[in-house]
Structure 1
Amino acid sequence: MDTLSKAESPNFKYSKRALRIFTYAETEAKKTNSIVYPIHLLIGTLIERTGICSELHSKYPDLLDIIIEHSLKKQPSCEQIPGCPPFSRPLSISTKQVLDHAFQAMERYNQVYINEGLIIKSIMNLPETLTTSVKDALDIEGILGIMSVPRDMIVSLKNYSFPYMADGEADIRKAEKNDIAPLKNFVKNNFGHGWLDSIETGFRQEKIPIYIACKNDTIVGFACFDSVQNKKGVFGPMGTAKTERTKGIGTQLLHHCLHEMKETGYEYAIISEAGPLEFYEIACGAVVIPNAL
């Protein structure tokens, strides 16, 4: 399968924020020759004022004007790729490369949506003429530190209540002592060995702070709290089998944990090194803890 057919496959999905960035990028491209270049994606990211994009703009308030000025210069002629969803305007080859690299990174990180962080990292790593011309004006390390690394998030539990959720496709229950072996196997098979210490920490506690999701008595997802290096008030890790994502299982697991954290007496929950930031923003109103400005 070539990269173009990958990008057009049903499994090639973008986060809602990434889709808004694309819309802004196309509007900016219309001001020149209507071809969407990577620099237009940068502009779209700075126009978007939610989540980490808002933090990016706050730290670099003059950056949008600088990049727009560069974008209005004569772009190099290039081969165009027409009709590449979700874009309505033609893309430059370099923009298509950005999307392909973001897709590959999404698969490496075992994610299901291409988000703004993957896109920005791909742009910064791309040796493309127009983007390179503006890179001297960019604090690349600082931008990547905001956009393209896992970030801690916080959820207020002061007024939290368990939300109504329709019955899901999996049964959610508290983990029991005899679940440790099958859960560790699930984690190893789906996510590697990195989370096993947290799983073992959770099972050593008198009240196991782990919930599991099962289908036909088979584990398809899990979520923990108070398990990362025994730190209290910290949610995670959480994981769902790739075949079971986007079905609401992760949201259910998250809220079972948050509900118990609220009942335990926590006023806030920290989500440590959250990857899919937009998932937590939508699911429970979590906000990114800003880097020092």
Structure 2
Amino acid sequence: MIELQYTNKVNKLIQNANMIAERNHHKSVQSMDLYLGAAHVKEGTLREMYHLMEPYMKQIENISNIIPADTSDTERIDRFSIPLSTHARKVWNKSIEVMKRYNQTFLNEGHIIKAFYAHLPEHPQLQKELSSMPHERIIRSVTKARDLTVYLLNKDWRYEVDPEFQICPVQAEDEKELLKWVEEHFGESWSKTLIQAFQSSEEFIPIIKAEEKGKFIGFAAFDVYKNKKGIYGPMGVLPHTRHKGVGKGLLYNALHCMQEKGYMYAVLKEAGPIEFYEKECNAKLIPVENDECEIESE
């Protein structure tokens, strides 16, 4: 069985949840400890979550005095100092399902918050105590794809990957094979978006490809989303090649091309997982108030 991997924010979330449970004399980490522990990370989307919750924080932190603690689950989870409650365990298991559904390999804060809200109706008393919260804005901020910006002018974006992989610009003769491959692995929508790149009058096709032994394993595009200049994405990498530098190689090569074209900033459109871009290229979130993506139903 492959060990579950966590983002840095989730590691901090777990530490916070452990401390909150200890402070409240819980024998198990409650689902509310996970939720409040996420807000107290105060980084990236969780900084926005904290600011949205801040006016209600005294009320929230008093919930443990109002609602009796749930019973403990029997199985201890790695990195938690005490067992999870039965309800928190449902949230945790659901978060792993969400991660797998999105074909991701690191558990992130969005998976956990999405899972919390999926199971909140099963805890009517907790749902009632949280009824005044701006839930839709929190869900939108933490669980939905977000736009980010990258400043391009202060870094050399050239990057060499392991020699077993080849990363280079797409050529015109790659069109048919690439579009078919993208549709097969990432869906028709992305494939249709990439068509724009091959229909442009410009000589350079703004798509970077990654190959292993002559076979596609990933791609990164820019200037293709609705024909808007300066927008990075979409980008996709096959699961078996993740964590081997291929994603970073595609990202850096594309950003280098954008820098060469004279762009000062790149907009990462509906990027995910967010922490990857925050870490690898110092990407900054565009505030949720300016994010036009709509809330999706569960």
TM-score > 0.5 by shorter chain: yes
Question: Is structure 2 residue 183 aligned with structure 1 residue 191?
Answer: no
- Selected match of 1:142 from 137, 140, 149: 137
Amino acid at match of 2:131: D
CA RMSD of aligned residues (A): 1.8
State the Cα deviation string for residues 187-244 of structure 1 (Å, max 9, x = none).
Answer: 1221121201221111223210000110000000000000111110000000000111
Segment drifting more, 254-263 vs 124-133: 124-133
Measure the CA separation in 2 of the matches of 1:77 and 1:193: 45
Tell me the CA shift for residue 169 of structure 1: 4.4
Question: Is structure 2 residue 100 aligned with structure 1 residue 107?
Answer: yes
Check 1:146–1:168 CA distance in 2 against 1; reply closer, same or farther (3 A cut). Answer: farther
Q: What aligned pairs does 1:1-293 form with structure 2 within 5 A after superposition?
A: 9-10=1-2, 12-31=4-23, 32-73=25-66, 75-126=68-119, 127-129=122-124, 131-162=126-157, 167=162, 169-205=164-200, 206-292=203-289
Amino acid at match of 1:292: E
Measure the CA separation in 1 of the matches of 2:275 and 2:6: 11
Uncovered stretches (5+) of structure 2, i.e. residues with no partner:
291-298
Measure the CA separation in 2 of the matches of 1:17 and 1:236: 24
Contact 1:214–1:220 under 8 Å retained in 2? yes
Contact 2:193–2:224 under 8 Å retained in 1? yes
Tell me the CA shift for residue 168 of structure 1: 5.8
State the Cα deviation string for residues 65-107 of structure 1 (Å, max 9, x = none).
Answer: 3221112445334142332123231111111111211111122
Amino acid at match of 1:81: T
Contact 2:113–2:143 under 8 Å retained in 1? yes
Residue 296 (structure 2) aligns with = none
Tell me the CA shift for residue 17 of structure 1: 0.7
Residue 6 (structure 1) aligns with = none
Amino acid at match of 1:223: A
Check 1:197–1:134 CA distance in 2 against 1; reply closer, same or farther (3 A cut). Answer: same
Measure the CA separation in 2 of the matches of 1:63 and 1:44: 15
- TM-score, normalised to structure 1, is 0.91
Contact 1:168–1:247 under 8 Å retained in 2? no
Give the total of aligned pairs: 285
Partner SS state of residue 168, structure 2: strand
Check 1:86–1:185 CA distance in 2 against 1; reply closer, same or farther (3 A cut). Answer: farther
Residue 294 (structure 2) aligns with = none
Check 1:34–1:238 CA distance in 2 against 1; reply closer, same or farther (3 A cut). Answer: same
Measure the CA separation in 2 of the matches of 1:44 and 1:76: 16
Check 1:188–1:61 CA distance in 2 against 1; reply closer, same or farther (3 A cut). Answer: same
Tell me the CA shift for residue 164 of structure 1: 5.3
Uncovered stretches (5+) of structure 1, i.e. residues with no partner:
1-8
- TM-score, normalised to structure 2, is 0.90
Measure the CA separation in 2 of the matches of 1:214 and 1:11: 28
